[in-house]
Amino acid sequence: MSVFMILKLIGSLALLMYGMKVMSEGLQKMAGPQLRHILGAMTTNRFTGLLTGAFVTAAIQSSTATTVMTVSFVNAGLLSLAQAISVVMGAKIGTTLTAWIMSAGFNFNMGDVVYPCFILGIILIYSKSSGHKNAGEFVFGLCFLFLGLATLRSNAADMDLGHNQAVLDFFQATGQWGFLSTLLFLLLGGILTMCVQSSAAVMAITMILCSSGALPIYQGIALVMGENIGTTVTSNIAAMTGNSQARSAALAHLVFNVFGVIWVLCIFNFFVNTVCGIVGYDAELAAVDASYAQSHASLLNVVLPTFHTAFNVCNVLILIWFIKPIEKFVKRAFSAKGGDEDEDFRLKFITGGILSTAELSIMEARKELNHYAERTQRMFGLVQELLHTEGIKDFSKLFARVEKYEGISDSMEVEIANYLNNVSDGRLSSETKLKIRAMLREVSEIESIGDSCYKMAVSLNHKRQNQPKEDFTTDQYRHIEQIMKMADESLTCMQQVLKTNTERDLMASFNKEAELNTFRARLKNLNLEDIDAGKYSYQTSIYYMDIVNECERLGDYVINVVEARSDRKEKKQ
């Protein structure tokens, strides 16, 4: 086996993996919003959730993407964890379509179809319609997938693995250990999947080895079972930096596959022989008759996807009745720790790096941005509390919390903005690019709201330090409370716009802004009259108006966020 053949094999696998990725991205761009609506609306019970997960995954060719969308709905409170588990189970059935696509690529000569399809893909990609461009991306991905499969099959024929003595000796030696042989190939399948980060690539390798006659079907199926474990280990490692809901969903995925592997191992030979019998392949005869194994090796490209489908379907039929116990188990494993999470910097929704597509990444970033806005309003609540805090120790402690929130706000701005910039490096539609620009503006304006909150706290702190004997008058306290209440109501309206973006919520935000501007102008004039009347010192008026002006400025930043979310062009300065 030459070095060139090995490099050609690796390149073919890379082409296959790239094709799967591009095809999945194109499908998700074409149907992303509709599929998210389906996930949110069609999971009323475990069976509809199961069918929804299977349909969505079969449509977008990515169980990871389905899982990510499902976890997002759990975090948003749109789905319970039990419903999410049923969707994940359905995703395992939907993902078996990938194996059947590869089986078709191995059993038919796709070379005659691929190159004309490349021409179709070029025409679609260079069309003006974004929908046609996404369809072209899907066609390109499918072409790369089949081209990779065709190259793999051609390279395997050149290697003649079925007559390579070194390969045959290795599989013969490792196949003589009985149940230990099955466990060995199970482990190899899991390790390979974790290394290449693609269950499709491991399935393709297994098909090549089995169809060439080099790898017996029992060891090949053990590799496929290991691939199921490998995909879940990868997702669990990625979810370790996530929140408890993400880790629970990933653990449920692992429990599903581990349970399936355990019960299949208990009846391994019987289950494999039954699946092979459905296809018309005698696994027991192939184990003792080399000529039969060689002459019927092409059937193994059908046996493997049949086993993959039977494994997942049977596993679902068993576990669909035990969703509640699984939910309790994964919740107990990742029970929430004590303490206030808002006192620590931790992103809640953006976890594990950039997701499988920009569309899903934007979905997570938007939810993180909404969470950022909620934290900022809580920071403003601390400033309102600071206004009436008595005692140096209590005031200092609360002011330190505001300072901590300011640091959290700055860190969240940087992390979310960096995440969005990384997403923008990928292939994006013009509509998606506009979304990212709007979200970057939202992030900047929300951080400015945090700055305004901190400046109010600093003004109160300076007043306490520089004028310990002179306090605000009763009227000043009342006016500050009023304008702070109006600013807080403005923040609440902003939260509603970020969640729903309806015309009614937009108008409520603009009305609150108008009220803030009017009240601030009134207080400004009243302040000048009170200074002339000698009701308080000029220095006290400076601290007073700093807080009033900052509340009005906070309202301007709120409107900037609302305009960015609603695509309005006017910008407050």
CB 161 within 8 A of CB 197: no
What's the pLDDT tens digit per position in 189-201?
Answer: 888 877 776 677 7
Residue 75's pLDDT band (cuts 50, 70, 90): low
283-287 CB contacts, 8 Å cutoff, 24+ apart: 283/217, 283/218, 286/216, 286/217, 287/216, 287/218
pLDDT of residue 267: 92
Higher pLDDT, residue 283 or 511 = 511
> Tokens standing for 178?
């009985």
pLDDT of residue 549: 95
Residue 336's pLDDT band (cuts 50, 70, 90): very low
Q: Which has the minimum average pLDDT: 207-221, 230-244, 288-302, 375-389?
A: 230-244
Amino acid identity of 313?
A: V
CA-to-CA dists, residue 358 to 38, 263, 435, 436, angstroms: 19, 38, 11, 10
199-218 b/e (C-beta count within 10 Å ≥ 16 → b): bbbbbbbbbbbbbbbbbbbb
CB 512 within 8 A of CB 486: yes
Q: The whole model's pTM is what?
A: 0.59
In this prediction, residues 91-119 reach a mean pLDDT of 77
In this prediction, residues 63-91 reach a mean pLDDT of 69
Span between the terminal Cα atoms of the chain, in Å:
69
How do the domains of the chain map onto residue ranges?
Answer: 3-333, 343-566
Residue 337's contacts (CB-CB under 8 Å, 6 or more residues apart) are none
pLDDT of residue 122: 85
In this prediction, residues 218-240 reach a mean pLDDT of 76
What's the pLDDT tens digit per position in 438-451?
Answer: 999 999 999 999 99
Query: What secondary structure does DSSP assign to 377-443, as a single string?
Result: HHHHHHHHHHHT--SHHHHHHHHHHHHHHHHHHHHHHHHHHHHHHHHHTS---HHHHHHHHHHHHHH
pLDDT of residue 337: 45
CB 476 within 8 A of CB 459: no
Q: Return the number of other C-beta atoms located less than 10 Å from residue 288's C-beta.
A: 8
282-285 CB contacts, 8 Å cutoff, 24+ apart: 283/217, 283/218
> Tokens standing for 139?
């066609």
**The pLDDT of residue 425 is above 60:** yes
CATH architecture observed for domain 343-566: Up-down Bundle (1.20)
Cα separation, 175 vs 102, in Å, equals 26
Residue 392's contacts (CB-CB under 8 Å, 6 or more residues apart) are none
